[in-house]
């Protein structure tokens, strides 16, 4: 039962994301509203615990972000760091054809890797 619910919402999320990806401004507005409402709920819940005020919140939040590895990826983002090293354009600056070209290249590389894995598996079978 739980699996069915998870699969349903996963497919629904895929459909919504695909449709909204063609309207980035609307997508960002909806996403912004969702993020603000989520954090509003977190904030109001944290207020129920008097120990979570001021410096304790900052320290606890920092520790959680550092332990989970989310500090840099949340505030800066892995893709931003990598694109800076490679001197690439931001995704929003790329044309649709550039994104499609990158997707094609990634698919090609994935297919090549799969082919290499199959060859390695065959070689392992023959050496046993």
**Domain segments of the chain: what residues?**
1-48, 51-93, 95-128
Q: Which two tokens stand for residue 11?
A: 């497919």
> Cα(109)–Cα(116) distance, rounded to whole angstroms?
10
Q: What is the largest CA-CA distance in the chain?
A: 66
Which tens digits make up the pLDDT trace of 70-127? 777 776 666 666 666 666 666 656 677 777 788 888 898 999 999 999 999 888 888 7
């Amino acid at each position: 039962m739980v699996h069915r619910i998870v699969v349903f919402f996963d497919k629904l999320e895929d459909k919504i994301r695909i449709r909204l990806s063609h309207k980035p401004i609307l997508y960002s507005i909806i996403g912004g509203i969702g993020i603000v409402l989520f954090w509003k709920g977190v904030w109001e819940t944290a207020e129920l615990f008097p120990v979570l005020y001021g410096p304790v919140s900052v320290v606890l939040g920092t520790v959680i972000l550092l332990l989970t590895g989310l500090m840099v990826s949340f505030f800066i983002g892995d893709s931003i760091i990598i694109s800076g090293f490679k001197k690439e354009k931001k995704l929003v600056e790329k044309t649709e054809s550039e994104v499609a070209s990158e997707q094609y290249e990634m698919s090609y590389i994935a297919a090549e890797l799969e082919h290499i894995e199959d060859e390695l598996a065959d070689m392992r079978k023959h050496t046993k």
